[in-house]
Amino acid sequence: MRLLHTSDWHLGRSFHRESLHDAQRAFLDHLVDVVRKERVQAVLVAGDVYDRALPGLEAVALFDQALHRLAGLGVPTVFISGNHDSARRLGVGAGLIDRAGIHLRTDPAGCATPVLLADEHGPVAVYGLPYLEPALVRESFGLERGGHAAVLGAAMEQVRADLAARPAGTRAVVLAHAFVTGGAPSDSERDIAVGGVANVPLTVFDGVHYAALGHLHGSQTLAPHVRYSGSPLAYSFSEVDHRKSMWLVDLASDGSVTAERAYTPVPRELACLRGRLEDLLADPRHARHEQSWVQVTLTDPGRPAEPMERLRRRFPHTLQLLFDPDESGTGTARSYASRVRGRTDLEIAEGFVRHVRPGTEPDDTELRWLREGFESTRESADRRADQP
């Protein structure tokens, strides 16, 4: 069976205030072409269909068009909700849409109820595991405590139990939206485990033939049967070295997997430039970036006059301007943004406690309060997002 694995569409997202609507529409056109030309037998969309819980009308219209076009091809498509989606809103009408071959899996209670497909070699059970927020789903899985690893592990136990009751030779595919150990993140993913342990072990997917993952925006292979498709478009300058794609996955009769990348259209190249303003404006090596989306980090000891205006005369699509002065020039300390880059919200809060109490580490009680505070805030935000 030939599968097309994609994820993290983030419909409605912009790139540093540049609209990506046309680029997202071009991607969906490309996806439909790939499904048709590559004789895809099922499409897997592993979460973060939308960029926010309350998507704009343009994003909803894009999704609606994609549903109609996929249904028109007669190719079964399985979606799960991600941490950016409102599960309730994405899942509206799932029962009716199911009849058109579009399967929206947004309810944690349905983790062990697969979409049943078949080819000439027999049945394929496709299990859709929506994003599982531990604080909201622990009770439904019979857990008193535990983070992402615990709830995803409990969901997979249900999957394995259901699979064991199916005919011998049934091949199993799982869609999940999580941060799996070994995956490489980028700046454009919202942390899915604020205040807790983000990673879940690779072994959680033991017993299935293919795990189609979403959440991390770079295409990655964690094991031959466990892969991230990555996002179809770049959503941050940290993805400057990504080559965006989907996975074309061939599931053999014995459950073995081979996969190749199906590259997606690039609306505009990204470039990250660093140096002193006058050097950047004069350097002929940067001519190839004059039509790119550009992030510039200026290292001038003092801030030049009108830097953005001057940069845009040469690089009209300069979108982000950062300052990291050469310390050799003035001894200026690194910027706050550079000092906290790559840290989680919890780590930044812990750093603040250390800053206001020099020489004193947060104790266990204070760390627990911080974790609980972030978890409570996140839980409240998720509940508000799912309110009708």
Residue 186 clears pLDDT 80, i.e. is over it: no
Contact 81, 131 (CB under 8 A): yes
- Count Cα atoms within 13 angstroms, Cβ side, for 68: 6
Contact 79, 90 (CB under 8 A): yes
pLDDT at 383: 62
Contact 125, 170 (CB under 8 A): yes
CA angle 122, 180, 336 (to 5 degrees): 150
Domain residue ranges of the chain, discontinuous segments joined by +: 2-263, 270-340, 345-385
Is 3.60.21.10 the CATH number for 2-263?
A: yes
Residue 203 clears pLDDT 50, i.e. is over it: yes
Contact 157, 194 (CB under 8 A): no
Question: Which residue reads 């549903």 in tokens?
Answer: 67
- Classify 54 as helix, strand or coil: coil
Mean pLDDT is lowest, of 4-13, 28-37, 164-173, 192-201, for 192-201
CB crowding 239-271: b at 16 or more within 10 Å, else e? beebebbbbbbebeeebebebebbebeebeebb
> How distant is the alpha carbon of residue 322 from its chain centre?
25
Counting residues of the chain whose pLDDT is more than 90, the rounded percentage is: 72
Polymer length in residues for the chain: 388
**Which band of pLDDT confidence, cut at 50, 70 and 90, is reported for residue 381?**
low
The overall average pLDDT reported for the chain is 90
103 against 334, higher pLDDT = 103
Which of 82, 17, 27 lies closest to 216 in space, CA to CA?
A: 82
User: Rounded to whole angstroms, how far apart are CA atoms 49 and 67?
Assistant: 12
User: Rounded to whole angstroms, how far apart are CA atoms 82 and 156?
Assistant: 17
Residue 198 clears pLDDT 80, i.e. is over it: no
List Cβ neighbours of 378 (8 Å cut-off, separation of 6 or more). Answer: 133, 135, 194, 195
Contact 288, 267 (CB under 8 A): no
Using left for φ > 0, alpha for ψ between -120 and 50, and beta otherwise, residue 49 falls in alpha
**Which band of pLDDT confidence, cut at 50, 70 and 90, is reported for residue 183?**
confident
**Stretch 333-352: mean pLDDT, rounded?**
72
Q: How far is CA 333 from each of CA 274, 336, 357, rounded to the nearest angstrom? A: 17, 9, 20
